[in-house]
Amino acid sequence: MTGDSSAEQQNVVSRAADAVEQASDTRALDVAARLGFAALAVVHILIGMIALRLAFGGNGEAEPTGALEEVAEGRFGPLIMWVCAVGCAGLALWQLSEATLRARHLGTGERLGKHISSGSLVLIYGSMAGTFARFALGDGPDSSESTVDFTRSLLSSTFGVLLVFATAGIVLGIGVHFVVKGARRGFRPELRTFEDTARGRVIEVFGVVGHVAKGLALLLVGGLFVIAGLDRDPQEATGLDGSLKALQYHPVGVYVLTAIAVGLVCYGVFAIIRSVFGRM
């Protein structure tokens, strides 16, 4: 009797999960998630353009909040920020359904990987939605200062240096993931159609260059976390803006900065393509 009762309870839970999964597969969530990819495109293209400006002697803050600040101060800035906030929130909800409802259909190993990857994206996209909302309300943060404050709080804790190195490891790991994903064309399954045509090859170029460039940018950020941990100096962890500006003072840094800038723009273009032709 106990076994039958347990099996019946599992069936009820399974049917309930199926119902919730079907309910989550709505047109509204699909549109919101695609809007979120478009919001990511805006951020990456703006960061890339600011980085190009830096490479040619200009100024600006080559990080997400610096890019968003330039848009938020425009005439339609608050409206754009709210639209992007809704999009990123939708993207976070979509990844949450991927990490929970849809992941249960996978094998044990794949399911664990999906929990980690999609679960991390829930936090990232949710944080971005909050950042967009803050800019819409006129209270946008400075990510470079936030990174320094975050590193300072880690270093002041009992296991501070280890925590900084752990953070560096996570950022470096994500950077390697993007480089490998770009080099191996791992983004192909994310697209609804990918014909072996001229259009498909162009899309592939944007995907490869964009993913590799984003990975390199994250590797630079992770490297600064390592330096901050070694020197026990939170001022070394200046985020993406600080890592890109540091390239200006190296002999070939301007060329590397230009390449990364162009690559980030390519990633933004790929995100637009993903928003239109992506599998959801």
In DSSP notation, the chain reads: -HHHHHHHHHHHHHHHHHHHHHHHS-HHHHHHHHHHHHHHHHHHHHHHHHHHHHHTT-----SHHHHHHHHHTSTTHHHHHHHHHHHHHHHHHHHHHIIIIIGGGS-HHHHHHHHHHHHHHHHHHHHHHHHHHHHHTT----HHHHHHHHHHHHHTSTTHHHHHHHHHHHHHHHHHHHHHHHHTTTTGGGBS---SSHHHHHHHHHHHHHHHHHHHHHHHHHHHHHHHHHHT-GGG--HHHHHHHHGGGSTTHHHHHHHHHHHHHHHHHHHHHHHHHB--
> Which pLDDT score is estimated for 16?
43
Q: Mean pLDDT in runs of 10 for the chain (280 residues)?
A: 51 46 64 88 90 85 80 85 91 82 63 72 86 86 64 70 82 88 88 75 90 89 80 68 77 85 92 85
> Which pLDDT score is estimated for 17?
44
Overall pTM surpassing 0.95 (yes/no): no
> Which pLDDT score is estimated for 276?
86
> Which pLDDT score is estimated for 182?
92
